[in-house]
Amino acid sequence: MTSEDAVAFDRTLDAGAPVVADAARALRLVVLEAFPDAVETFDRADGLLAIGTGRSMRDFSFAIIPHKAHVNLQLADGATLPNPDGHIEGTGKRVRHIKVRSVEDARSPCVRAAIAAQLTVRTRRADRRGEADH
């Protein structure tokens, strides 16, 4: 099922470059393929689609952020993720990103691996929180 937030995000993509819109749409589908129960939240002010387990900032694992010539896939724990090919960029203490320039980039093995790694980090964190609650 497509959320209202995802529909609003999709509409804003139409205002940008078609290659960026196509890459963002493909990226969203790749993330949701790995994370089918995700909650999507569209931030109109920043033009990004946040994806996570809920609507609060601490629940976000990913954000899809369109720019003029590319899309950033933001990884909430990117600084700690494996990065053998150097595709994860940025200098943030925790959050990093991958630049996606095409549908092919969005579907690439390195993007899928980063998504899987991000989900593993969040699952382990949730498991630790659950153990602490018992």
If you count them, how many residues does the chain have? 134
Q: What is the pLDDT of residue 58?
A: 87
- Using CA atoms, how far apart are residues 85 and 18, in angstroms rounded to an integer? 27
Strands 71-75 and 48-52: unpaired
pLDDT, one tens digit per residue, over 107-126 is 999 999 999 999 999 887 66
Q: What is the pLDDT of residue 68?
A: 96
Domains, the chain, ranges and CATH?
Answer: 4-133 (3.90.1150)
Q: What is the pLDDT of residue 126?
A: 66
Q: What is the pLDDT of residue 1?
A: 43
Average pLDDT, the chain: 92
Closest CA relative to residue 120, chosen from 55, 37, 35 = 35
Q: What is the pLDDT of residue 131?
A: 52
Can you list the residues of the chain whose pLDDT is less than 70? 1-2, 125-134
